[in-house]
Amino acid sequence: MSQQEIEIILCRHWASHLQTPVFLVDPEGTLLYYNEPAESILGRRFAETGPMSAAEWSTAFKATDDRDVPLEPDELPLAIALAERRPAHKRFWIVGLDNVRRYIETTGLPIIGQADRFLGAVAFFWELKD
């Protein structure tokens, strides 16, 4: 495992203590961590998936709109936060790694460290119940 910036280490630690589902990626979009509350929505424990490239995670969790039209990976809030370094928000459906379809609401935020260092992005999300 490569050395990570202190802000990312702290983000991961903080996320591990939250009940809000959290998904954390580095500047290249590589999945670094998702917490236990996210595991039930994503359908698999992080210990089982481990790090994934952006290409892997953006397609592993099949995302669709309300009409069941697949979303392009670059339409996902986390991808927007990475590419444009700005917050993004969206409601959409995902099929997790357990093949269960869930309706979620997600906010992606860029992580900007001291001296304006771009460190990656984080997504906060939750399942919307009918």
Per-residue pLDDT for 89 more than 50? yes
Mean pLDDT score, 30-50: 95
pLDDT of the residue at 2: 58
pTM for this one? Answer: 0.90
CA distances 11 to 65, 72, 73, 116, 120, Å, are 29, 27, 24, 17, 11
DSSP calls for 56-72? HHHHHSEEE-TT-PBPP
**∠ CA 17-40-102, rounded to 5°:** 125
Percent pLDDT > 70 in the chain is 98
- Assess whether pLDDT exceeds 80 at residue 52: yes
pLDDT above 90: residue 55: no
- The phi, psi pair for 9, rounded to 5°, reads -60, -45
Q: Can you give the pLDDT at residue 1?
A: 46
The whole-number pLDDT of residue 58 equals 80
Lowest mean pLDDT of 18-32, 54-68, 92-106, name the range.
54-68
Average pLDDT, rounded, for the chain: 93
CATH architecture of 6-127: 2-Layer Sandwich (3.30)
Mean pLDDT of 15-28: 97
Residue 63 near residue 76 (C-beta atoms within 8 A): yes
Average pLDDT of the residues in 86-102: 96
How far is residue 57's CA from residue 17's CA, in Å, rounded to a whole number? Answer: 23
Q: Which residue(s) pair with 22 in the sheet?
A: 124
Tell me the mean pLDDT in the region 11-21. Answer: 96
**Which SS3 state, helix, strand or coil, does residue 106 take?**
strand
- Residue in this structure with the two tokens 């670059």, named with its chain if needed: 74
Amino acid at 117: R
Distance, in Å, from the CA atom of 130 to the CA atom of 123, rounded to the nearest integer, reads 22
